[in-house]
């Protein structure tokens, strides 16, 4: 073993040496930011292509790009393109051993030529190690017909491998994992309850979003703490040129965004408040639920060269709250709150070295107030304070070395009762100190490797300390039009929610640190796929995956006494095949996807299908720019039936009274359901068609955008569940027209 470690270290040193010495003695570097010319907002995932060298780069989520190993002393032409913006050509040159930095502004346009952009994408993605990665912008989210209003999590469900349990929930499940195995980051800060209105919608206002990176598997070593997926959301900085405001209203909520410049920087503020529950009756089987929610965010940025040359300092805050108060003592009440605060310093050095240093706080509070209802009380508190530092060094060979540290202090508190009335109080405090290191081998135009590991020096639990999470991702482009991709990795999770799998809608899933009597949950990911570019406008992706999860915490349904454990360890297994075909050539964009998946869960040696297991899924979406400011959209979705537990019958069960409260020890009889084997039944197949159209009006004093959508156009009666007491069928969303009006000043 010692000799193997010495050999690996020797190879790593050789790679570093060749990266520094072999390349770049007569070359320079070209870097910069691509931004909107009107607002100064970064354009995430844009394209920078150098015609003479037939190479390029894509901008990251902050609009930054870097191209190495450019011959010095010569003039080159860079073609910068972005969907919805006029393509721009820039002439530049580099000096030997130096960096040419340009900030490039693109002018918004309703239509632009796509040929150059597609050529650029075809070149610079040749060795990208991005299997399982989906990049999204606000425009991508708006291309999907709205289910009341644009929602981040509901839009994710159009991606193959991402499942939901119905129209009434934005909670999502990725490749056979539970919902608490999905990490949601807002400007690098984890959100522990990212849902509004009993889980119907996301707390993230899409108006604040600049870019999203969504990993549905195979994510690399800089991300930790979850088993299934990572969603990294970066918010806008705010308009750096002029002050502006946006107001919009839907059938559900009203919201506003304010933005504008400050000296050497900008600011942004968003606010949203629900004002009507009428539309929610369509989601909740015509029940009147007094849902009341709000969310607010702000971001202030400073990037003056006097103090931070090629750097940016940001302060970000976010709060959200939900209150459900029936004003009826016979019914239960709910409360949820999120509070986020973060400070971030981004810096680009001349090495070239990129760094990010951040301090953040994230808290969550949730409570069930049962009043005189049958529900049991629950109170959950979570506090997360994190310090992180990330560094990226790019060699002249184009290889990258990434390293970073993450120090997390976490405190959880949970007071609850189970169905039998047994009380539990779980309080825990933990700290996680993790270091990651990875090397991206990108020097070969047709071959790329991302190899790294995450080392948990201190875990939230005792068994989580001194653990390694190695990860590997690679790409080999066999031909110019065909790339082979694969990834493998080990992932650790020491934090989980208590979720009752028997609930049709998961209303409240409290968080807790994995108890000492359980080992941390661990997952093994394996995936492989093909990327095929049939032409500059037509491409396809296909992936197969296998995921094995151990020590997954599950509610102990056999707890009878206070000293019984609240959780037991289960295991899970999932595998499947995903396919996506994309056509992108303005004014038409179309996507068709299919996925075939299997998911299993094992608890106490009993194997069953989890409630989100769906065998077949199809998604077809079409987006067409009609012209004259009119934009049309259509989406058709299909999935095979979800599993459910069949009802076998009833009997009158005797419930004894409390001998201490009643000396006569009286009791009563109540009907008790006799259930079949867990989740052996399947609901009928699900499908629906959604349509949407929007029109933009340019008025002298503002720009107005009217959006009208129709959900479930042919009024398909998709079954949500059967009521166990009556056998009545409860359906999902019926035919539902909605509208949103947005005004920009």
Confidence of residue 243 (pLDDT cuts 50, 70, 90): very high
Q: 608 with 679: CB under 8 angstroms?
A: yes
Closest listed residue to residue 484, CA positions, set 399, 445, 542: 542
The mean of the pLDDT values for the chain is 85
What is the Cα–Cα distance from 344 to 44, expressed in whole angstroms? 18
Q: Which residue has the higher pLDDT, 341 or 6?
A: 341
For CATH 2.60.40.1120, the residue range(s) in the chain are 25-124
pLDDT of residue 343: 97
Confidence of residue 538 (pLDDT cuts 50, 70, 90): very high
pLDDT of residue 419: 63
- Flag whether pLDDT at 5 surpasses 60: no
pLDDT of residue 128: 81
pLDDT of residue 186: 94
- Encode pLDDT of 192-220 as tens digits: 999 887 778 889 988 899 889 999 988 99
Mean pLDDT of the region 590-612: 92
Confidence of residue 733 (pLDDT cuts 50, 70, 90): confident
What is the Cα–Cα distance from 313 to 265, expressed in whole angstroms? 9
Q: Specify whether the backbone of 6 is left (phi greater than 0), alpha (psi in -120 to 50) or beta.
A: alpha
Q: Which residue's entry shows tokens 């931004």? A: 35
DSSP 52-88: TTTEEEE--TTSEEEEEEEETT--EEEEEE-TTB--E
Residue 564 DSSP code = S
Highest-pLDDT range among 298-307, 482-491, 725-734: 482-491
Distances in Å between the Cα of 305 and the Cα atoms of 18, 64, 236, 311 are: 34, 17, 20, 8
What is the Cα–Cα distance from 227 to 494, expressed in whole angstroms? 10
DSSP-assigned beta bridge partners for residue 328: none
- Flag whether pLDDT at 127 surpasses 80: no
- Encode pLDDT of 630-671 as tens digits: 889 999 999 998 998 887 666 666 556 554 555 555 566 666
Mean pLDDT of the region 314-322: 95
Q: 634 with 691: CB under 8 angstroms?
A: yes
User: Can you give the pTM of this predicted structure?
Assistant: 0.88
pLDDT of residue 673: 66
Q: Which residue's entry shows tokens 């969303």? A: 733
What is the Cα–Cα distance from 42 to 106, expressed in whole angstroms? 10
Q: What percent of the chain has pLDDT over 70?
A: 88
Mean pLDDT of the region 37-54: 86
Reduced 3-state DSSP string for 182-218: EEEEECCEECCCCEEHHHCEECCCHHHEEEEEEECCC
Q: What is the arrangement of strands in the sheet containing 229-235, beginning at the earlier edge strand? A: 133-136, 209-215, 229-235, 182-186, 189-190
What is the Cα–Cα distance from 522 to 626, expressed in whole angstroms? 49
Q: 153 with 235: CB under 8 angstroms?
A: no
Closest listed residue to residue 261, CA positions, set 234, 312, 301, 309: 301
Confidence of residue 7 (pLDDT cuts 50, 70, 90): very low
- Flag whether pLDDT at 298 surpasses 60: yes
Confidence of residue 21 (pLDDT cuts 50, 70, 90): very low
Q: How many helices (H) and strands (E) are present in the chain, helices listed first? A: 4, 47
Residue 515 DSSP code = P
- Encode pLDDT of 514-524 as tens digits: 988 899 999 99
pLDDT of residue 286: 66
- Flag whether pLDDT at 113 surpasses 70: no
What is the Cα–Cα distance from 135 to 133, expressed in whole angstroms? 7
Mean pLDDT of the region 716-741: 82
What is the Cα–Cα distance from 299 to 234, expressed in whole angstroms? 11
3-state class (DSSP) for residue 497:
strand
Fold assignment, 229-238+257-645+680-744: Maltoporin; Chain A (2.40.170)
Closest listed residue to residue 176, CA positions, set 251, 117, 228: 228
What is the Cα–Cα distance from 337 to 194, expressed in whole angstroms? 10
HSE-CB at 668 with a 13 A cutoff on CA atoms is 5
Mean pLDDT of the region 724-735: 78
Residue 463 DSSP code = G
Closest listed residue to residue 496, CA positions, set 165, 174, 178, 172: 178
DSSP-assigned beta bridge partners for residue 214: 134, 231
Fold assignment, 25-124: Immunoglobulin-like (2.60.40)
What is the Cα–Cα distance from 3 to 15, expressed in whole angstroms? 19
- Flag whether pLDDT at 672 surpasses 90: no
Mean pLDDT of the region 420-434: 82
Distances in Å between the Cα of 282 and the Cα atoms of 147, 340, 696, 711, 728 are: 11, 32, 28, 11, 17
pLDDT of residue 8: 46
Reduced 3-state DSSP string for 120-134: HHHHHCCCCCCCCEE
What is the Cα–Cα distance from 254 to 275, expressed in whole angstroms? 7
Q: 211 with 44: CB under 8 angstroms?
A: yes
Confidence of residue 119 (pLDDT cuts 50, 70, 90): very low
Closest listed residue to residue 340, CA positions, set 315, 322, 323, 357: 315
pLDDT of residue 183: 95
For CATH 2.40.170.20, the residue range(s) in the chain are 229-238+257-645+680-744
Pairing of strands 162-163, 173-174: antiparallel
pLDDT of residue 154: 84
Confidence of residue 266 (pLDDT cuts 50, 70, 90): very high
HSE-CB at 100 with a 13 A cutoff on CA atoms is 23
- Encode pLDDT of 440-451 as tens digits: 998 888 899 999
Q: Which residue has the higher pLDDT, 405 or 6?
A: 405
- Flag whether pLDDT at 20 surpasses 80: no
Q: 395 with 20: CB under 8 angstroms?
A: yes
- Judged by average pLDDT, the poorest of 10-14, 90-94, 115-119 is 115-119
Mean pLDDT of the region 50-70: 86
């Amino acid at each position: 073993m010692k000799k193997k470690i010495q050999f690996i270290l020797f190879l790593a040193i050789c790679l570093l040496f060749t990266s520094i010495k072999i390349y770049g003695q007569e070359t320079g570097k070209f870097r910069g930011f691509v931004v909107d010319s009107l607002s100064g907002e970064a354009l995430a995932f844009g394209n920078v292509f150098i015609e003479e060298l037939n190479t390029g780069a894509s901008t990251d989520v902050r609009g930054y790009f870097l191209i190495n190993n450019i011959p010095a002393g010569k003039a080159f032409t860079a073609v910068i393109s972005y969907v919805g913006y006029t393509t721009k050509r820039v002439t530049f040159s580099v000096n030997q051993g130096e960096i040419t930095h340009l900030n490039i502004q693109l002018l918004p346009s309703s239509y632009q030529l796509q040929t150059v952009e597609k050529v650029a994408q075809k070149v610079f993605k040749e060795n990208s190690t991005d299997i399982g990665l989906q990049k999204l912008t606000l425009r991508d989210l708006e291309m999907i017909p709205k289910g009341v209003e644009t929602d981040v999590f509901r839009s994710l469900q159009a991606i193959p491998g991402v499942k939901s349990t119905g129209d009434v929930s934005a909670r999502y499940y990725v490749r056979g994992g539970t919902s608490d195995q999905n990490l949601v980051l807002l400007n690098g800060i984890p959100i522990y309850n990212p849902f509004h209105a009993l889980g119907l919608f996301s707390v993230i206002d899409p108006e604040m979003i600049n870019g999203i990176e969504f990993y549905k598997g195979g994510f690399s070593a800089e991300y930790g703490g979850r088993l299934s997926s990572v969603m990294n959301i970066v918010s806008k900085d705010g308009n750096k040129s002029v002050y502006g405001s946006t107001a919009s209203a839907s059938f559900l909520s009203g919201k506003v965004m304010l933005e504008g410049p400050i000296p050497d920087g900008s600011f942004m503020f968003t606010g949203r408040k629900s004002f009507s529950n009428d539309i929610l009756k369509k989601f909740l089987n015509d029940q009147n639920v007094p849902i009341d929610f709000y969310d607010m965010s702000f971001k202030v940025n400073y990037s003056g060269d006097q103090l931070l040359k090629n750097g940016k300092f940001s302060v970000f805050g976010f709060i959200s709250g939900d209150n459900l108060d029936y004003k009826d003592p016979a019914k239960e009440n709910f409360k949820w709150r999120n509070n986020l605060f973060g400070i971030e310093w981004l810096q680009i050095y001349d090495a070239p070295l990129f760094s990010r240093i951040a301090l953040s706080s994230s808290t969550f509070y949730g409570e069930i107030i049962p009043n005189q209802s049958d529900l049991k009380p629950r109170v959950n508190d979570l506090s997360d304070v994190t310090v992180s530092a990330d560094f990226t060094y790019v060699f002249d060979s184009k290889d990258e070395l990434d390293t970073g540290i993450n120090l997390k202090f976490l405190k959880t508190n949970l007071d609850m009762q189970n169905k039998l009335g047994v009380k539990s109080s779980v309080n825990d405090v933990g700290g996680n100190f993790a270091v990651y290191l990875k090397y991206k081998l990108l020097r070969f135009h047709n071959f790329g490797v991302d190899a790294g590991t995450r080392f948990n020096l201190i875990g939230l639990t005792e068994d989580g300390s001194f653990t390694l999470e190695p990860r590997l991702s690679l790409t080999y482009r066999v031909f110019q039009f065909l790339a082979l991709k694969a990834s493998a990795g080990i992932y650790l999770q020491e934090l989980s929610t208590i979720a009752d799998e028997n609930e049709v809608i998961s209303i409240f899933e409290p968080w807790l640190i994995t108890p000492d009597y359980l080992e941390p949950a661990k997952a093994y990911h394996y995936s492989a796929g093909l990327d095929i570019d049939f032409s500059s406008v037509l491409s396809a992706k296909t992936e197969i995956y296998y995921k094995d999860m151990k020590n997954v915490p599950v509610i102990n349904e056999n707890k009878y006494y206070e000293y019984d454990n609240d959780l037991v360890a289960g295991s899970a297994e999932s595998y499947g095949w995903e396919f996506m075909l994309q056509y992108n050539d303005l004014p038409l964009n179309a996507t068709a996807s299919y996925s075939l998946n299997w998911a299993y869960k094992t608890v106490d040696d009993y194997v069953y299908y989890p409630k989100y297991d769906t065998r077949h899924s199809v998604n077809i979406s079409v987006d067409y720019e009609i012209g004259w400011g009119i934009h049309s959209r259509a989406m058709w979705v299909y999935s095979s039936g979800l599993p459910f537990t069949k009802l076998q019958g009833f009997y009158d069960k005797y419930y004894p009274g409390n001998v201490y409260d009643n000396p006569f020890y009286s009791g009563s009889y109540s009907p008790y359901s006799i259930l079949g084997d867990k989740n052996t039944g399947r609901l009928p197949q699900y499908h629906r068609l959604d349509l949407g159209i929007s029109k933009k009006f340019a008025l002298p004093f503002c720009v107005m955008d009217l959006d009208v959508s129709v959900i479930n156009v042919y009024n398909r009666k998709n079954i949500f569940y059967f009521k166990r007491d009556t056998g009545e069928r409860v359906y999902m969303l019926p035919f539902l027209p909605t509208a949103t009006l947005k005004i920009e000043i």
